[in-house]
Amino acid sequence: MQPMEFPHRRRNPLNGQWVLVSPHRNNRPWHGATEAAFEPDLPAFKADCPLCPAVERANGDSNPDYSETFVFTNDFAALLEDSPEVSSASDELMQVETAQGCARVMCFSPEHDKTLAEMTVPQLTQVVNTWQSQYQELSQSYACIQIFENKGEIMGCSQPHPHGQIWAHHHLSSEVSAEDRHQAGYYLQHDRPLLADYVERELNEQTRIVEQNDDWLAVVPFWAAWPFEILLVARADIRDFGDLDKAQKTSLASILKNITTRYDNLFQCRFPYSMGWHNAPANGQDNCHWRLHAHFYPPLLRSATIKKHMVGYEMLAESQRDLTPEKAAGALRQTSLTHYKETSSD
C-alpha cells in the first residue's frame, strides 16, 4: 500500500477500532527537540527497594536472595482468588459479575539498575522461560493470563527495579475478548489466522518492519495508535506461551533485546512503555484462529520529555496520530543496536 500524506482512517482488524491519521500535521517529528530526560544514577542494589533481593517488603515478607528471576504474589493484588460470588446479569443498566483471580509480580533481574534493554540475551531468555512457566501453571486454573510490564514513571511505574506483572482470571478481559471475536470472525471467512496473513503482508511490504528473525516479527502496525507502537508476532502457528520450544524462546529473547535497545536509543533515554502479551484463551478449545503476540504502547512523541497525550478527541471520538506508522518504523530502524549507555561509556 502506498504511503498517504493526507488525513485518513485506518482500521485495527484485531479489535475493530479505527485510528485517524493526519500526516500533514507533523511529517517528521523526530527531527524536533531531542533533549534527554533526567535519569538518576541508580545503584545495582537498593536496601529500601521492595523488589531487590533479601529485602523485607511492606507486608513483612522477605524476598529470597535471588540471582535470576523472582515471582511473588502481589502484596496489593487487584484480584483475589476467594472473591464472593455476585451477579446482576438481569439488570441491563448496572450489571455486576464476580472477578476472581490472582496477581503476581515478576522481578526480571536482581540488579536494581537494569532494564530489559540492558540485560543480556541469556538473562532475557530466563525472563521468557519464567513467563512460560507462569503461563503453564496459571492456565491450568484460569482462562485469561495477562503478562505485562509498565516501564517508567510516565507510565505510572513508581519502582524502577526491572519488573512486570502477571494477572490471571476466569473472565476474558475486554481487549482479549475483542481480539478473540475478530480473529475468529476472520478465520471463519478466510480459513486462515488473521495474524498469519498480516505477518505475510508485512514481510511482503517491508515498510513497517522494525525487527525480524526466523521466529518473530516486530512491526509498527498499520493501525498503530501510539507514535512508536510495536506489534511483536510469532511467525509460526503458536497460540500461547505453552507452545514455545527452546529455540523460539531464545529467539524471542534476542528480538526483545533489539526492540528495547532501539527504543532506548531513539531518544537516548530509558524509553517508557506499557507492554503485554495476548495468549489464546485457556479454554480447552483449539483456538486455531489465534497467534501469540505482544503489544508495546510507548507514549513518547518528539523527545525523551515530550509525550503523546490521548485526550480530547482521542478520549471522546477515536485515536489520532500525526506521525505515520511507516515513518515511525523507519525512525526505529535507523537507531543503533548498541545501547547508548554502552557507547557513552567507551
* 293 is annotated as contributing to ligand binding: yes
Nearest to 231 by CA among 182, 155, 296: 296
For residue 127 the three cell numbers come to: 525472563
Q: State how far the Cα of 179 lies from the Cα of 194, in Å rounded to an integer.
A: 10
For residue 42 the three cell numbers come to: 541508580
* 170 is annotated as contributing to ligand binding: no
Q: State how far the Cα of 325 lies from the Cα of 334, in Å rounded to an integer.
A: 14
Q: State how far the Cα of 341 lies from the Cα of 181, in Å rounded to an integer.
A: 43
* 52 is annotated as contributing to ligand binding: yes
Q: Tell me the CA distances in angstroms from 268 to 121, 126, 309, 339, 343, one per residue in order.
A: 21, 26, 21, 9, 11
Active site residue 163: yes
For residue 161 the three cell numbers come to: 527495579
* 24 is annotated as contributing to ligand binding: no
Name the burial class of residue 186, with classes exposed (0-12), middle (13-18) and buried (19+) by CB atoms within 10 angstroms of its CB. Answer: buried
**Helix (H) or strand (E) segment spanning residue 125:** helix 121-138
Q: Which amino acid is at 52?
A: C
* 171 is annotated as contributing to ligand binding: no
Beta bridge partners of 64: none
Q: State how far the Cα of 260 lies from the Cα of 334, in Å rounded to an integer.
A: 14
CA torsion sign for 160, 136, 170, 14 is positive
Q: State how far the Cα of 225 lies from the Cα of 322, in Å rounded to an integer.
A: 10
Number of residues that make up the chain: 346
* 144 is annotated as contributing to ligand binding: no
Name the active-site residue from 163, 169, 289, 339: 163
* 295 is annotated as contributing to ligand binding: yes
Binding-site annotation: residue ranges for Zn(2+): 49, 52, 112, 161
Q: Which residues are catalytic?
A: 163
Show binding-site residues for Fe cation.
179, 278, 293, 295
User: Which residues fall in the annotated binding site?
Assistant: 49, 52, 112, 161, 179, 278, 293, 295
